[in-house]
Amino acid sequence: MSNLKATIHYCDERLKVLLSPALGSSNERAQELSELGVITLVSLVDDRTFEPAFFYNPQFILPIAPEKDHYIRFLQALRHTDQFALANISGLSNEPTGLIYPSKNYLMLVHIRPSAELKEPEVPDWTAEAATLTVADVAIHRSKLERLNEETLRARSAETGR
């Protein structure tokens, strides 16, 4: 799938960009995106507003050469908000259909899957809310997760050092 040209509309400004797939292989939504042209920013939202399970089809947003400075200012401004930009992508739906967020030196666009597409399993006979954790329990579990993260980073470093 080749890069798609798009325009990001925010306030009274426009930014001409290229959207480039972040994944090596295309998916069933590629044809749906072939008409992509306008991305209108709707609002800023907390990064925990949407479950990651609702995200699909990540794309890099790349500046078109003359727009580079404008792109960098937009990237830095979004980075300093600590929020995501909720976007409406033309032709997909009347509802907001994407999130834009900074990732390293680029902006990323992830599409939001409609909740009707996510099939949940049957309701269990238990609930997570039934568990009560003390402050000490939370500290123990956080410590275990941090150790797991450190072990994973060490393993990756050893793997890339070969």
Question: Residues spanned by CATH 2.40.290.10 within the chain?
Answer: 4-117
Specify the pLDDT at position 29. 47
Record: fold of 4-117? Ku70; Chain: A; Domain 2 (2.40.290)
Specify the pLDDT at position 162. 61
Specify the pLDDT at position 93. 67
Specify the pLDDT at position 36. 57
Specify the pLDDT at position 107. 94
In sequence order, the 6+-apart residues with CB closer than 8 A to the CB of 35 are 90, 91
Specify the pLDDT at position 32. 45
DSSP string, 65-97: GGGHHHHHHHHHHHHHHTSEEEEEETTT-SS--
Taking only the tens of pLDDT, the chain with its 162 residues reads 456 788 888 777 888 898 888 876 554 444 444 445 788 888 899 877 878 888 888 999 999 888 889 899 899 989 998 889 998 888 766 677 889 999 989 999 998 888 777 788 887 777 777 778 889 988 998 898 888 888 888 887 887 776
Give pTM, 2 decimals. 0.67
Q: Is residue 66 a contact partner of residue 57, using CB atoms and an 8 Å limit?
A: no
Specify the pLDDT at position 72. 92
Specify the pLDDT at position 31. 41
